[in-house]
A and B are shown apart, each in its own frame.
Chain A
Amino acid sequence: MNVNISIRFMRIWQRNLTVYRENWKVNFLPPLLEPFFYLLAFGIGFSGLINSVSYDSREVSYVRFIAPALVAINIMNNAFFENTFGSFVRMYYQKTFDAMMATPLNAEEIITGEIVWGATKSVIGTVIMLIVISFFGLVSYPEGILIVFAAFLGGIAFGSTAMFFTGMVERIELFNLPIFLFITPMFLFGGTFFPITGLPVWAQHFALVLPLTHLVNLVRALSFGIWNSELLISFCYLTVFCLIMFPLAIFKMRRRLIK
Chain B
Amino acid sequence: MSEKNNPQPVIAVRNLKKSFGSFTAVNDISFCVDKGLCFGILGPNGAGKTSTIRMIYGFSPLTSGDIFVFGLDIKKQYRAIKARVGVCQQDNTLDPDLTVMQNFEVFARYFNLDKKTAIDRASSLLKIFALEQRRDARVTELSGGMVRRLVIARALINKPELLILDEPTTGLDPQSRHQLWERLEGLKKQGMTTLLTTHYMDEAARLCDKLVIMDQGKILAQGSPQSLISEYTGENIIEVAEPEDDLRAFSREKKVRQEDLGHRMIIYAENGHELYREICGRFTHKSCILRSATLEDVFLKLTGRELRE
Contacts and interface: CB of A to CB of B under 8 A. Distances in A.
Contacts of B111: 103-104
Nearest to A6: B79
A15 B89 CA distance: 19
Residue of A8, A96, A101 most packed against chain B (CB within 10 A): A101
Contact of A98 (B79, B93, B102): B93
A82 B85 CA distance: 31
B69 interface: no
Contacts of B54: 259
A102 B87 contact: yes
Contacts of B155: 102
A16 to B, nearest CB: 10
B29 to A, nearest CB: 18
A1 B91 CA distance: 26
Contacts of A94: 93, 95-96
A22 B109 contact: no
Interface string A234-256: 00000000000000000000000
Given A14-B109, A15-B106, A258-B61, A98 B89 contact: yes
Interface string A1-38: 10000001001001100110011000000000000000
A259 B60 contact: yes
A257 B95 CA distance: 18
Contacts, number: 72
B91 A95 contact: yes
A106 B79 contact: yes
Contact of A19 (B20, B82, B89, B97): B97
13 contacts: A18-B98, A18-B105, A19-B98, A22-B97, A95-B93, A98-B93, A99-B89, A99-B93, A102-B59, A102-B82, A102-B89, A104-B82, A259-B20
Given A22-B98, A98-B59, 15 more contacts: A1-B61, A8-B112, A11-B110, A14-B106, A15-B106, A22-B102, A96-B95, A98-B91, A99-B107, A102-B59, A102-B155, A103-B111, A104-B110, A259-B54, A259-B60
Interface residues of A, number: 23
B57 interface: yes
A23 B83 contact: no
Interface string B55-67: 0011111000000
A198 to B, nearest CB: 44
Interface of A: 1, 8, 11, 14-15, 18-19, 22-23, 94-96, 98-106, 258-259
B227 interface: no
Contacts of A259: 20, 54, 59-60
A11 B155 CA distance: 17
Interface of B: 20, 54, 57-61, 78-79, 82-83, 85, 87, 89, 91-98, 102, 105-107, 109-112, 155, 158
Contacts of B59: 98, 101-102, 258-259
B171 to A, nearest CB: 15
Nearest to A4: B79
Contacts of A23: 97
A102 B58 CA distance: 7
A19 B109 CA distance: 14
A44 to B, nearest CB: 38
A27 to B, nearest CB: 12
Contacts of B107: 99, 103
A19 B95 contact: yes
Contacts of B106: 14-15, 18
A12 B58 CA distance: 18
Contacts of A96: 93, 95
A12 to B, nearest CB: 8
Contact of B79 (A95, A102, A104, A258): A104
B154 to A, nearest CB: 8
A98 B92 CA distance: 10
B108 to A, nearest CB: 10
